[in-house]
């Protein structure tokens, strides 16, 4: 039942990423809600299951942008690996530590895109927006979405059928 809940969270997050996130666009930068989802599942699921979820939802998101097919799946797997291996040793009580960790994750996410765009045969300026502002913008969005996920996860719903 718990895996079904995380699958539903993922489908809902993918829906929000595709249809709602473009409405939060600032300077051609669309926030990525899926980074928060990958962090969330990596903290709550076993290693192999979290990697499978990261790959699946990364590939599903990549289908929307064929020029970078596979890049989101690859970066989500890397993020899931890093979070799953290191989240227990991080003091989550301190806000600055959490923000620094989310900043590092967003930086790594955009670093892979920068490397991809440097080696791409045709550089598309519309896709090349990984700058410092986009990292900070996504860090803030990821922080809030992650805590929304953690809050929703704590809520217990009981249905009488």
Instruction: Delimit the domains of the chain by residue range.
Output: 47-89, 91-156
* Distance, CA of 143 to CA of 135 (rounded, Å): 12
Residue 85's alpha-carbon distances to 4, 60, 79, 160, in angstroms, are: 23, 24, 10, 38
Those residues whose C-beta lies under 8 Å from the C-beta of residue 83, and which sit 6 or more positions away, are: 38, 39, 42, 43, 105
Higher-pLDDT residue of 155, 54: 54
91-148: pLDDT as tens digits: 667 888 888 889 999 999 988 888 887 777 766 655 555 577 888 999 999 999 999 9
pTM of the model: 0.86
Residues 6-43 pLDDT 10s:
999 999 999 999 999 999 998 888 899 999 999 999 99
H-type helices in the chain, by residue range?
2-15, 33-44, 47-62, 71-86, 95-119, 132-154
**Contact (Cβ atoms closer than 8 angstroms) between residue 50 and residue 40:** no
At residue 1, the pLDDT reads 67
Quick check: 155 pLDDT over 90? no
Per-residue pLDDT tens digits for 75-98 = 999 999 999 988 877 766 788 888
**Phi, psi torsion values for 109, nearest 5 degrees:** -60, -50
d(CA 124, CA 109): 18
Percentage above 90 pLDDT, the chain: 48
Mean pLDDT to the nearest integer, 52-76: 90
- Over range 56-85, report the average pLDDT: 91
Q: Are 142 and 105 in contact (CB under 8 A)?
A: yes
């Amino acid at each position: 039942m718990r895996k079904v809940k995380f699958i539903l969270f993922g489908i809902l997050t993918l829906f929000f990423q595709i249809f709602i996130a473009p409405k939060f666009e600032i300077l051609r930068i669309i926030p990525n809600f899926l980074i928060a989802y990958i962090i969330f599942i990596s903290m709550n699921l076993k290693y192999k299951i979290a990697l499978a979820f990261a790959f699946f939802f990364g590939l599903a998101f990549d289908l929307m942008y064929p020029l970078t097919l596979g890049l989101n799946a690859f970066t989500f797997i890397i993020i899931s690996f890093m979070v799953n291996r290191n989240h227990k040793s991080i003091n989550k009580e301190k806000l600055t530590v959490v923000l620094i960790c989310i900043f590092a994750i967003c930086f790594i996410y955009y670093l892979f895109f920068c490397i991809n765009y440097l080696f791409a045969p045709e550089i598309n300026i519309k896709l090349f927006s990984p700058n410092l502002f986009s990292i900070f913008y996504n860090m803030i969005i990821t922080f809030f979405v992650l805590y929304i996920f953690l809050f929703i996860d704590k809520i217990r719903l009981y249905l009488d059928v």
